[in-house]
Amino acid sequence: MRPGISHYCQKCLAANPLGQEFCTRCGTRLMIVVEPSSSRYESAPASLSTDEHLLERISAAENRVARLAERLERSLDLLLRYAQNAYFDRSLMRALVGLLTEDGVVDNERLERMWSERCQRDTLEQEENVHRDALRLRILASAQVHDKQAFEDLVNEGFVLIEDKQVPQGITKLQAAAEIAAENAPLNLFIGEHYFRRGKTKLARAYLAKAHAALPDDRRISLLLGLTCADDGEVELAKNLLSDATAQGGSSFAGHYGLGWVFVAEKNWRRALGEFKRALTVRPSAEAHYVLGCLYYELNRDALAVRHLRKATEMDGGYAEAFSLLAQVYERTGRKELARQALEKGGRKHGNLFQGTKSGAPRLITGADKRLAEALREDALTADFTNGH
């Protein structure tokens, strides 16, 4: 179609200006080609060449591309307007914050910090909601029960309550669902993780054992179940589970740390030391250095104990337990002044982490140092193994 020639409606044949999308007379969407001439019944079969047919096709495609480009241009314009409005809103907020800061009403640094923390918290909450919804669907897909409707209702209600921050009520619903589907591994694992996160290892173990029975090769379940068994003092079972969890590239701070505790309970100091060193390699942290410092102190290797305890206090200047044990090491080696300074920073005297091993197996989670137990639970719940579970 050449410039200056009108675009005729294919329905009523009314002339329309070029660029018009709908007919001004009948409202029909205007098209350059309704259908190729070769497909029309009234056309002569041999009268249309291949070149003409291709030109018609190209003409129709050009029309569609032009319309798409126009819509994209409109969308881009809307996005630019939105970005401009967002920029003006942020500029206004910064000006207001600056004015309030000058008047001493607002602490600008504190506001920025709180805003950043809130954004991070909202992002994490959204990710958790997405993950939780995917888990809910996986639980429902894994259901093999007679009363499927009752099971689905309990699961859906439970997750809605959890999302509404009514966690205890939600978990109660999910426990009722787990009674209907006792072999549902994703559901049992979710409930077990909930109790593990809160340090209720006996309840956690009951559900994790069911999940492990259904998925014995899942290293993450083996890790969590092994840690709960270690907390209950079942050393041999814990050792087998944790060894499975850390085998073939499944290293984690929690797995090696748990194995270290198990070997301490067996008085196998050499293997305990090896596992704690591996835990430090996997996750270099003040807690890992503190554990090694405690073990070296127990083995009367004071120079190495001092090295790791000092490293722990360098990484965290508020680690009271590390300062307290460092003071005890200095006291034992006759460095009174250094012992006094370390004890001042520690605040009070704390016992050695392994002092209870002489009277029986230590409680890994509920009876251990609170800070270490927290780090252990966090690492175990976020462990990423290479087997894809």
Nearest to 239 by CA among 264, 216, 220: 264
> Tens digits of per-residue pLDDT, 279-336?
999 999 999 999 999 999 999 999 999 999 999 999 999 899 999 999 999 999 999 9
Identify which of 357, 364, 389 has the alpha carbon closest to the alpha carbon of residue 229: 364
E strands, the chain, are 7-8, 15-16
Rounded Cα distance between 236 and 368, Å, is 19
With tokens 């044949």, the residue in question is 13
Q: Is the model's pLDDT at 143 over the cut of 70?
A: yes
- For residue 341, give the H/E element and its range: helix 336-346
Mean pLDDT, range 189-194, rounded to an integer: 95
Residue 228: predicted pLDDT: 93
Q: Model confidence at 41, in pLDDT bands (50, 70, 90)?
A: very low
- Cα distance between residue 174 and residue 293, in whole Å: 43
Between residues 263 and 347, the one the model is more confident about: 263
**CA-to-CA distance for 284 and 38, rounded, in angstroms?**
74
pLDDT over 60 (residue 42): no
Cα of 370 vs its chain's centroid, Å: 23
Give me the mean pLDDT over the 195-202 stretch: 91
> Hey, what are 10's tokens?
């294919």
Question: Given this model, what pLDDT does residue 301 score?
Answer: 95
pLDDT digits (tens, 9 = 90+) for 120-134: 888 877 888 888 899
Instruction: Confirm if 289 and 312 have CB atoms less than 8 A apart.
Output: yes
Give the separation between CA 342 and CA 130, rounded to whole angstroms. Answer: 47
User: For the structural domain made of 130-216, what CATH number should be given?
Assistant: 1.25.40
CATH number corresponding to 250-389: 1.25.40.10
